[in-house]
Amino acid sequence: MVDLSTSYAGLTLKNPLVVSASPLCQELSNLRRMEDAGAAAIVLHSLFEEQILIESNELDKYLSNLADVSGEATSYYPDLEKLKIGPDAYLEYIRQAKATVGIPVFGSLNGVSEGGWVRYAKLMEEAGADGVELNIYFLPTDGEEDSATVEARYVELVRAVKAQLKIPLTVKIGPYFTSLVHFAKRLDEAGTDALVIFNRFYQPDFDLSTREVVPGLQLSTSYELTLRLHWAAILSGRIKSDIGITGGVHSPADVIKSMMAGGRVAMTTSALIESGVGVLRSMLSGVEGWMEKERYQSVRQMQGSMSQQNVANPAAYNRANYMKVLSSYSVRDLAMQGTK
Amino acid sequence: MKRKVTIDGNEAAAYVAHKTNEVIAIYPITPSSPMGEWSDQWSSEGKPNIWGTIPSVFEMQSEAGAAGTLHGALQAGALTTTFTSSQGLLLMIPNMYKIAGELTPCVMHVAARALAAQGLSIFGDHQDVMAVRQTGWALLSSNSVQEVMDFALIAQAATLESRVPFVHFFDGFRTSHEVAKVEQLDVEVMKTMLPLELIEAHRRRALTPDNPVLRGTAQNPDVYFQARETVNPYYIALPAIVQNAMDRFAALTGRQYKIYEYLGAADAERVLVLMGSGAEVAEETLEELLAAGEKVGILKVRLYRPFASELLLQALPASVKSIAVLDRTKEPGCAGEPLYGDLLTALAEGIASGKAQFKGFPKVIGGRYGLSSKEFTPAMVKAVFDELGGAASKNHFTVGIADDVTHTSLEYYPAFNTEHAETVRALFYGLGADGTVGANKNSIKIIGEDTDNYAQGYFVYDSKKSGSVTTSHLRFGPKPIRSSYLINRASFIACHQFNFLERIDMLRYADHGAVFLLNSPFGVDEVWQQLPLTVQKEIISKQIRFYVIDGYKVAKETGMGGRINTIMQTCFFAISGVLPRDEATAAIKKAIKKTYGKRGDAVVQKNWAAVDATLANLLEVEVPAEATSNFDIRPAVPAAAPEFVKNVLAPMILGNGDQLPVSAMPVDGTYPIGTAQWEKRNIALEIPAWDESLCIQCGKCVLVCPHAVIRAKVYASDKLMGAPETFKSAEAKWKNFPGQRYTLQVAPEDCTGCALCIEACPSKSKTESKRKAINMVSQLPLREPEAKNWEFFLSLPETDRTALNLGQVKDVQLLEPLFEFSGACSGCGETPYVKLLTQLSGDRSVIANATGCSSIYGGNLPTTPYTVNKDGRGIAWSNSLFEDNAEFGLGMRLAMDKHKETASELLVKLASTLPEALAKGLLFANQSTEAGIRDQRARVAELKKLLAGKESFEARTLLSMADSLVKKSVWILGGDGWAYDIGYGGLDHVLSSGRNVNILVLDTEVYSNTGGQMSKSTPRGAVAKFAAAGKPRAKKDLALMAMHYGAVYVARVAMGSNDGHTLKAFQEAEAYDGPSLIIAYSHCIAHGYELVHGLDQQKLAVQSGHWPLFRYNPALAADGKTPFVLDSKAPTVPLENYIYNETRYTMLRQSNPAVAAELLLEAQHDVDQRWHTYEHLAHQSNANFATALQSAACGEKAEGTVNHG
């Protein structure tokens, strides 16, 4: 019998398979099925601060703009007293989720303003969340803002939120940082308990018939995992935060690789959407079967075993790895020298 | 502690009605709709009545339906009420006789309103309640908002005790919509006033099989009369019962009322008798006259039916020598209006019997005032008193108008003023959508509830729905406010829209030393030169203190978008000093939290930020000594306008319609058409500009334009001679117009800036995808040059209709619209269909228009949009009522058909005297094409020439009917409230008639005009008024129902989804010789999204299967083809992707997510099911169709058919 348990952001999980934030998490019945299928923890769908703002402002706009324009129609809607605007419905859902499943439940917060982050994170804690995942999703398009400013913004947000929370705080980021290891260390210092890599950014597409930009939403593939493995392996051992890997975890092998790269958990969504919640069960048994076959006793054994620090060939994670593909062994040797 | 609230009359009535009833039957009609809306909302929020149960509120299909339901619920023992006004009350009359005849306790609350006669009016007078004075219902009049709340309860108490039903009425708008500070009745007071034993007695009389009785027999000559007289004791007892209820009420609340309340000198010689809000004005005037030592008094009549003659006479002082009775109604041809007649009768009886206390028979005169909320002011009250004092007093007078025809009117001196010096009077001019009224409602609540002041707010709206001006009239001060009239001497005037200054002379209402607050994009140093000369002069001569703020800048900076309400409100408090600034700021913030808190914290925060940012931007302007502006307020219409427009409509546009004399008015409500073109409103900040290099000349922009402000012509190139410099043209891309030019022209001063045309434009730049063949640009720089271009464009010849293919949009753009520049909402989804109708058949159509949005934008004064072509032909238009429009249109058809038949008979008779070819041509003309119609018109012209001067009966008759030989179309227009609900019975009958009428249902899926109440067209899951918890039932399939007749052309269209299909349906409906029904998806502001996306929503409605497009043409069946053609594809988009773009649906998700989710599932099922049915029908052979349709109605699938699901 192998030991699948892992620790993540200060929590002990029964295995490393965590369901990441997705619309699937919006149904309580799905949460129960996820737990039954073996999920060790669930990150709920994201609470979008902007969406709350938009919903509020849109509702206000159409209630207000349509009011008092005509003597016959001084309004167009009943101005209801009981509206569930804002985070109330989400917080209620956290409560229900906690009552539904026994595994840890993370709230996920996708925000834009410091006030919103702190306030909503605190509310999630109060609602019973076991942890909060900050999904920092910021597209720096302002040509006047330098990278240091952008990074400082992340760090300050994390610091502000962490100061308010007693429960673990995980931070989900994208891969596009100039010096990711340095940045991750700064997040460490700001109080991150786990770093979740990587966010999959919204990819707009073009509709050629209308020549308009349309939202593009594609499920991840195992191919995308390699980027995560690469950086997890580099970060592993260099930062204090635990590492969670998300994006491209589709198979037992993907889970195993995630662990070996240094991840404490492997998070998956696309696989569930594609193949159903039951896929968790086969992934776990696949991991278990492989471990038994390869005589691994515990997941913890394998965690970080192939990080840059722990592999025989650290240059495999460097630029030289690319050159190898192109040329010959001599290049590899050159690179080896470079790393020593 | 007595609770003070600042509310309007409707809310006051609804508060008591909801607290003291079990069942409430409702139907919307202005101005009473809010009473039903409040009731529905409170019940949906679970608010109980005083006995702890939540009243059951049910919307009916008409007021007649509401009255029937009222009657039924009362008979079954429930405490039941309803609310109505005007025509709605008239529709209740049959049941009112029954309810009274059966001695059934009930109180109905009526916001009294004018009746539709020579024209419709939504405003207040007593014509409606006077039309029910014979029904046996007691009539109790409230004069103020406080009285509305109090009398609602007193009436309830009196009806239970007396068993006589009550109409409790108050003046529409003036009281129903006036916001005032009143004392709210306590539940305990209500309970005490309504003892349980009386309610038990009502319940004991209920129809129940446990104690069965029969009520409503048919009675014969032997007993009906006696039976009718049985009720007399109840009416004799009633005045004392009401007075007793008033006395008990006084003991509980301290407010003592009298059914006939005399105020004034004990030795008064002149007395004014009246009821309603006018009595408050009379009381205010009275105080002034008494102070001047005049021997005058007023008698407020509160209980009008039963009319207690003796009690009324007793209320008058013995010293009275002359009495003027004022009626707020009109009975043409009567001996005197009702209250006058009743008082005269009472006096005559009292004096003849010797019971009256007067020495002789006082002089009594009667007069009319205040029809349709016509202003009634202290000056007018004084004029009546003055008239009484004269030697020869005018009887049957009018006051408040200038009657230069029958000279009934009294002269009055507007300068006479009775307002208390300590009362602050503030006037605010705002734009409908800028939140001015909402802010002022908030302000008056703050003043009413946070200070010891008395407070009053009244709001005047524009009749147009785009770019509409609102005026807020706020009064407050330490003295009670009885001024039920508009402010005409303001101590504070605020102009919230800078461009109003060039249209409205608002400072004419400013008092000397008043404050003027202007929302101005120009700062303190530059604003002065931007003011019209008149405004500058008034500021100087009246020594006005002048403040400016750039409200839009502050709004933008604080996330308020285009809403300047909070900013301007903060300025008002800062300048007016009604509260210390800190207190005012705190109070505004508290009010913001209360009003907007439920919409989310973000809304509160941005409003608070706006409050904080305001004061730093509010600056006083140093007023120069001289007026130096080089421009002035613009004239209402150009000099080239016709005389009627200049003399009659222009004063109305300027807000001076009150000064028009009787002689200026058409006697029978007939007005010239084509007048909207003269009112240049300049309301768009941005207008479309044409890029001829990108344009493919498809005509889609022209088709979707709701206001007919973007038009196209193809013309010979030599016509460009003399074109203005900036006039654009391009080579026409038509095979059959080689070498000709094409121009797409915008009317810059008529455009409302909705940008639907931009959305419709399919042509994008290859190098810059945001750029289209038309693009929105700033209006101001283009105003003058494009106005010239527009003039030139109009002078170009119209394209020859006979050369066009009317089956394609590209050609239809070239047809002249005969419906233009209406006051419909910017981006309206209805008007493009109406415009299309006029393009296709406007020069030979009459329109019967149901009351609703389409009748308001179609026929609301001052200016109207239907117009004529160069031959003087155009739409003849009329509106009968809301409920009878199909029948009205059918009547038109019958008349036209009859005349055509008669003319044809006479032609046959006179054939021998006419050229043979002409007679045959006239009789057997093929008028199915434009050319055929043109030829027939030519024949008719020839016929008329030949008949002219002939004296025979046949010749004269034929001449008078000759035009009927040219094909005429009858279009019956209305919204879903009419077609699905109130007018459905008539519509159904007309559909079954076989007559050739075209019915266009402009389906917005809600009662748009009266403010968004649910209709049977409202889809499942949508929130609407009267469906605050989301409509739980599916939308009625009117189209499917109509198809069952088998001989009705039916089409469901959505122009934004498929314009070619819409066009085809209109063509086929016209061609079909029988009833045609087109149901047109009309996006609407009541759906809650930016209407610029209206076309996209129409596409989604079709793609989601919510609105499948089809045509059912019985003519196809005659040819052996399947009559039903499904023109849209199977749903490709989930319903939620369509509906959750609209507030009407998202609101439910925000108020009750679980119910929203459930209703979404059911609504998706509705869509799937309907698609299944339609698809099934579309695959039937003609032979199977009827059976399949029958099965569809039964929810089955016909046997032996292929499953296409």
Q: Indicate whether A167 pLDDT > 60.
A: yes
| Chain centre to alpha carbon of residue B425 | 28
Give whole-number Cα distances, B377 to B173, B280, B374, B421, in Å. 16, 10, 10, 17
Which pLDDT band holds residue B852 (cuts at 50, 70, 90)? very high
* Torsion sign (Cα): B522, B528, B532, B538: positive
Tens of pLDDT, residue by residue over A83-117, are: 877 788 899 999 999 999 999 999 999 887 777 88
Closest alpha carbon to A248 in A230, A266, A273, A262: A266
B1146–chain A Cβ distance below 8 A for any pair: yes
What's the token pair of residue B1117? 């069946």
Q: In the annotation, is B63 catalytic?
A: yes
Are the CB atoms for B292 and B261 separated by under 8 Å? no
Which pLDDT band holds residue B1203 (cuts at 50, 70, 90)? very low
| Cβ distance of B1088 and A83 shorter than 8 Å | no
Q: Indicate whether A327 pLDDT > 50.
A: no
| Three-state secondary structure call for residue B21 | coil
d(CA A3, CA B857): 76
The residue behind tokens 């009545």 is: B49
Mean pLDDT of chain A: 88
End-to-end CA distance of chain A: 40
What's the token pair of residue B648? 């009659």
Are the CB atoms for B26 and B83 separated by under 8 Å? yes
% residues pLDDT > 70 (chain A): 93
Backbone angles phi, psi at B501, to 5 degrees: -60, -30
CB burial of residue B565 (10 Å; 0-12, 13-18, 19+): buried
Q: Indicate whether B1205 pLDDT > 60.
A: no
Q: Minimal Cα distance from A207: which residue of B?
A: B769
B594–chain A Cβ distance below 8 A for any pair: no
| Cβ distance of B45 and A82 shorter than 8 Å | yes
Which pLDDT band holds residue A200 (cuts at 50, 70, 90)? confident
Task: Count CB-CB contacts under 10 A for residue A207.
Answer: 9
Are the CB atoms for B454 and B422 separated by under 8 Å? no
Q: Indicate whether B711 pLDDT > 50.
A: yes
Least confident of A69-73, A235-239, A256-260: A69-73
What's the token pair of residue B277? 């809000």
Q: Indicate whether B930 pLDDT > 60.
A: yes
Residue B1199's pLDDT is 39
| Cβ distance of A69 and B1144 shorter than 8 Å | no
Q: Which of residues 604-623 of B touch A (CB under 8 A)?
A: 606
A192: left (phi over 0), alpha (psi -120 to 50) or beta: beta
Q: Residues 6 or more apart from B460 whose CB is under 8 A from it?
A: A71, B470, B471, B472, B473, B486
Which pLDDT band holds residue A78 (cuts at 50, 70, 90)? confident
The residue behind tokens 């760090």 is: A155
- CB contacts, 8 Å: A56 with chain B: 599-603
Q: To probe the interface with A, which of B372, B472, B598 has the most A CB atoms within 10 Å?
A: B598
| Cβ distance of A64 and B432 shorter than 8 Å | no
A50–chain B Cβ distance below 8 A for any pair: no
Tell me, letter by letter, the H, E, C secondary structure of B962-1031: HHHHCCCEEEEEEEHHHHHHHCHHHHHHHHCCCCCCEEEEEECCCECCCCCECCCCCCCCCCEECECCCC
B596–chain A Cβ distance below 8 A for any pair: yes
Q: In the annotation, is B30 catalytic?
A: yes
d(CA B359, CA B365): 18
Interface contacts (A, B; CB < 8 Å)? 150
| Cβ distance of B563 and A63 shorter than 8 Å | no
| Cβ distance of B1025 and A78 shorter than 8 Å | yes
Residue B1's pLDDT is 62
| Cβ distance of B461 and A69 shorter than 8 Å | yes
| Three-state secondary structure call for residue A86 | coil
Tell me the pairing of strands B4-8 and A41-48.
unpaired
Q: Indicate whether B731 pLDDT > 90.
A: yes
What's the token pair of residue B304? 């009008």
Which pLDDT band holds residue B60 (cuts at 50, 70, 90)? very high
- CB contacts, 8 Å: A26 with chain B: none
Q: Indicate whether B1118 pLDDT > 90.
A: no
d(CA B1100, CA B1141): 10
Option in A67, A78, A86 nearest B600 (CB): A86
Q: Indicate whether B79 pLDDT > 80.
A: yes
| Cβ distance of B600 and A60 shorter than 8 Å | yes
Q: In the annotation, is B113 catalytic?
A: yes
% residues pLDDT > 70 (chain B): 99
What's the token pair of residue A61? 């706009």
Question: Which of the residues B113, B563, B801, B1052 is marked catalytic?
Answer: B113
Which pLDDT band holds residue B294 (cuts at 50, 70, 90)? very high
Give whole-number Cα distances, B308 to B1, B139, B304, B325, B505, in Å. 37, 12, 8, 16, 48
Q: Which of residues 1125-1144 of B touch A (CB under 8 A)?
A: 1143-1144
pTM above 0.95, yes or no: no
B977–chain A Cβ distance below 8 A for any pair: no
Closest alpha carbon to B394 in B322, B289, B319: B322
Q: Indicate whether A316 pLDDT > 80.
A: no
What's the token pair of residue B593? 């939290």
Q: Minimal Cα distance from B1011: which residue of A?
A: A73
Q: Minimal Cα distance from B824: which residue of A?
A: A70
Segment holding B887, helix H or strand E: helix B885-910
Mean pLDDT over B767-791 rounds to: 95
- CB contacts, 8 Å: B1088 with chain A: 62, 66, 76-77
| Cβ distance of A69 and B561 shorter than 8 Å | no
Q: To probe the interface with B, which of A49, A57, A74, A212 has the most B CB atoms within 10 Å?
A: A74
Q: Minimal Cα distance from A82: which residue of B?
A: B1151
The residue that leads in pLDDT, A52 or B893, is: B893
Enumerate the H helices of B525-666 as residue ranges: 533-541, 551-557, 565-576, 581-596, 601-614, 643-644, 650-653
Backbone angles phi, psi at B392, to 5 degrees: -115, 95
A288–chain B Cβ distance below 8 A for any pair: no
Q: Minimal Cα distance from B561: which residue of A?
A: A61
| Cβ distance of A68 and B1088 shorter than 8 Å | no
Task: Count CB-CB contacts under 10 A for residue B762.
Answer: 11
Residue A319's pLDDT is 58
Residue B285's pLDDT is 98
A59–chain B Cβ distance below 8 A for any pair: yes
| Cβ distance of B1028 and A80 shorter than 8 Å | yes
A206–chain B Cβ distance below 8 A for any pair: no
Option in B441, B465, B1153 nearest A70 (CB): B465
Q: To probe the interface with A, which of B428, B473, B599 has the most A CB atoms within 10 Å?
A: B599
Q: Minimal Cα distance from A87: which residue of B?
A: B600
A51–chain B Cβ distance below 8 A for any pair: no
B841: left (phi over 0), alpha (psi -120 to 50) or beta: alpha
Least confident of A60-64, A114-118, B309-313, B1140-1144: A114-118
Tens of pLDDT, residue by residue over B1054-1113, are: 999 999 999 999 999 999 999 999 999 999 999 999 999 999 999 999 999 999 999 999
Q: Which of residues 72-91 of A touch B (CB under 8 A)?
A: 72-86, 89
Mean pLDDT over B923-929 rounds to: 95
Which of A43-57, B461-475, B685-699 has the highest mean predicted lDDT (pLDDT)?
B685-699
ipTM: 0.90
Question: Which of the residues B37, B63, B759, B883 is marked catalytic?
Answer: B63
B891–chain A Cβ distance below 8 A for any pair: no
Task: Count CB-CB contacts under 10 A for residue B575.
Answer: 18
The residue that leads in pLDDT, A203 or B52, is: B52
Question: Which of the residues B1009, B1010, B1113, B1173 is marked catalytic?
Answer: B1009
Residue B1195's pLDDT is 59
Q: Give per-residue burial for B608-637: e unless 16+ CB within 10 Å, then b.
A: bbbbebbeebbbebeeeeebeeeeeeeebb
Residue A325's pLDDT is 46
Residue A321's pLDDT is 52
Q: Which of residues 3-42 of A touch B (CB under 8 A)?
A: none
Option in A59, A66, A83 nearest B1085 (CB): A66
Are the CB atoms for B181 and B452 separated by under 8 Å? no
- CB contacts, 8 Å: A80 with chain B: 41, 44-45, 598, 1028, 1147, 1151
What's the token pair of residue A185? 């260390």
Backbone angles phi, psi at B483, to 5 degrees: -80, 85
Residue A335's pLDDT is 45
CB burial of residue A236 (10 Å; 0-12, 13-18, 19+): buried
The residue that leads in pLDDT, A140 or B975, is: B975
Residue-wise DSSP of B260-302: EEEEE-TT-SEEEEE-STHHHHHHHHHHHHHHTT--EEEEEE-
Task: Count CB-CB contacts under 10 A for residue B848.
Answer: 25
Residue B1202's pLDDT is 37
Q: Indicate whether B692 pLDDT > 90.
A: yes
Residue B640's pLDDT is 94
Cis status of the peptide bond prior to B209, with omega within 30 of 0? no
Give whole-number Cα distances, B516 to A148, B448, B631, in Å. 51, 23, 20
- CB contacts, 8 Å: A72 with chain B: 30-31, 33, 122, 856, 1009-1011
Q: Minimal Cα distance from A85: which residue of B?
A: B600
Are the CB atoms for A251 and A319 separated by under 8 Å? no
Mean pLDDT of chain B: 95
Say which amino acid occupies A207: D
Closest alpha carbon to B572 in B639, B495, B506, B645: B495
Beta bridge partners of B619: B548
Task: Count CB-CB contacts under 10 A for residue B375.
Answer: 18
